[in-house]
Amino acid sequence: MLKKRIAFRLITIILFWHLFPTLSHAVENNQGIVELRILETTDLHADLVNYDYYQTKTNQRVGLVKTATLIHQARSEAMNTLLFDVGDHLKGNPLGEYLARIRGMQKGKVHPVYRAFNYLNYDAIAIGNHEFNYGLKFLNTALKGAKMPAVNANVFSVKKNKPYFAPYVILKRNVVDLSGRHHELKIGVIGFMPTQIMSWDRANLDGKVFAKPIVDAAKEFVPVMKADGADIIIALAHTGISNEAYRPDTENAVYYLTQIPEIDAILAGHSHSTFPGPIFQNLPNTNLESGAINGKPVVMAGAFGNRLGIIDLQMEHRAGKWKVLEGTSQTRPIADDNGLPLVKRDKRLFKLVKREHEETVDFIRKIGL
């Protein structure tokens, strides 16, 4: 009886594979195919809470406490995710000013922006030009509270003639392919910012650092990253999008970063624009449906936490190497065009930054603003 059952099962399996060959091939073909979701915030400008400090009232168009809900949702939809910030997160509203100029940054204390980033488990962050507005000492003290690496490749120390920050980082992440197999993926992450910092923040930076052109720095470090084992490279580019003729002092250099073959995806910022978006409809070699420039996926998530940027990559692991097969980008808003909220705020995150938020509101009321 046992022999008959075994024979019957073998015949059933053989018939299944012969009758449904496409299914068996699909299982095989999914091995080594990985879908990776990359999430972006940029130009938060200390807008942690959905609040307008100038008008002392709730503002549903801003606030990382709202973007955080989109982050949770986007993560729940994908098996493999990464989260980055592209800079200009410390300065830009009364909360940032109060913390830097009134209360100060004390050793051992974690800046609420980095407390929020730690809670949301950012994988890496870029340094934006406004991070220098309070001086290098403040920035360096604040960064000690960040649990994720901060990268920038084109700001150099005058004294050492080396990058002032870590120019890049190689993140080793365990990813799962569509067949359920696990792989180690080495993700190279590099950061950039405009050279104009040497004019905008001369008083804080002169004699201490100097800035190299963005594309020059990319061409210098991207080959080093590949030699260091990076399977893919993501640029945290605190720079805008323009196809104006490139110069060494080009402020908005994303278009030219897309022309560097080894860069696989670009998270943009600085100009507070939204990409993909209609203002870029006349940009050459741009596909707004897929969110690509010169064939590379690019995203720019507005400013003040009003949007979450998303790039979805499909990659294949074959013969020991990773290849990006396809990339698409989109942004998701926290409010509609009329300012009506589309998501609730993250209550846990609000609780983490509530003390500094309320201190700022109290200070504004005391001075009569």
Q: Residue 165: what pLDDT?
A: 98
pLDDT value, residue 279:
97
**Phi, psi angles (nearest 5°) of residue 21:** -65, -30
Mean pLDDT for the stretch of residues 155-179: 97
Q: What pLDDT shows up at residue 23?
A: 41
Of the ranges 8-22, 25-39, 114-128, which one carries the lowest mean pLDDT score?
Answer: 8-22
User: What pLDDT digit, counting tens, does each position of 292-345 carry?
Assistant: 999 999 999 999 999 999 999 999 998 889 999 999 999 999 999 999 999 999
CATH number at residue 156: 3.60.21.10
Return the number of other C-beta atoms located less than 10 Å from residue 150's C-beta: 23
Task: Give residue 107's pLDDT.
Answer: 74
pLDDT at 101 over 50: yes
State the Cα–Cα distance between residues 28 and 178, nearest whole angstrom: 10
The boundaries of the domain holding residue 293 are 33-366
Range 272-282 average pLDDT: 98
**Rg (the chain; Cα; Å):** 23
Q: Which residues pair with 151 in a beta bridge?
A: 126, 166
Tell me the three-class secondary structure of the chain, residue by residue: CHHHHHHHHHHHHHHHHHHCHHHHHHHHHHCCEEEEEEEEECCCCCCCCCEECCCCEECCCCCHHHHHHHHHHHHHCCCEEEEEECCCCCCCCHHHHHHHHHHCCCCCCCCHHHHHHHHHCCCEEECCHHHHCCCHHHHHHHHCCCCCCEECCCEEECCCCCECCECEEEEEEEEECCCCCEEEEEEEEEEECCCCHHHHCHHHHCCCEEECCHHHHHHHHHHHHHHCCCCEEEEEECCCCCCCCCCCCCCCCHHHHCCCCCCCEEEECCCCCEECCHHHCCCCCEECCCCEECCEEEEEECCCCCEEEEEEEEEEEECCEEEEEEEEEEEEECECCCCCECCCCCHHHHHHHHHHHHHHHHHHHHCCC
Count of domains forming the chain: 2
User: In terms of pLDDT, which residue wins out, 31 or 140?
Assistant: 140
The more confident residue out of 267 and 6 is 267
Q: What is the pLDDT of residue 5?
A: 52
Using pLDDT thresholds of 50, 70 and 90, give the confidence band for residue 128. very high
- pLDDT recorded at residue 105: 78
Burial of 112 (0-12, 13-18, 19+ CB in 10 A): buried
The verdict on 70 and 172 lying in the same domain is yes
**Pair (72, 97) in one structural domain:** yes
Same domain, residue pair 14 and 86 = no
Computed over every residue of the chain, the mean pLDDT equals: 93
**pLDDT interval class at 369 (50, 70, 90):** low
Name the pLDDT band for 291 (thresholds 50, 70, 90).
very high
The pLDDT value given to residue 9: 52
Say whether both 74 and 1 belong to one domain. Answer: no
If asked whether residues 292 and 236 sit together in one domain, one would say yes
**CB under 8 Å to 14, separation ≥6 — which residues?**
none
Judge if 120 and 74 occupy the same domain. yes
| 13 plus 121 within the same structural domain | no
Same domain for 25 and 88: no
Query: Looking at the structure, do residues 191 and 323 belong to the same domain, yes or no?
Result: yes
Assess whether pLDDT exceeds 70 at residue 266: yes
Looking at 102-106, 167-171, 247-251, which range is the least confident one? 102-106
Model pLDDT, residue 29: 61
Q: Which residue has the higher pLDDT, 369 or 92?
A: 92
Measured between alpha carbons, how far is 218 from 233 in angstroms, rounded to an integer?
Answer: 11
One domain for residues 150 and 218? yes
Identify whether residues 191 and 316 lie together within a single domain.
Answer: yes
What's the pLDDT at 155?
Answer: 98
**21's tokens:** 């060959």
Instruction: Report d(CA 36, CA 133) in Å as an integer.
Output: 35
Residues 354 and 265 in one domain: yes
Rounded average pLDDT over 216-242:
98
pTM of the predicted protein model: 0.91
pLDDT higher than 90, residue 27: no
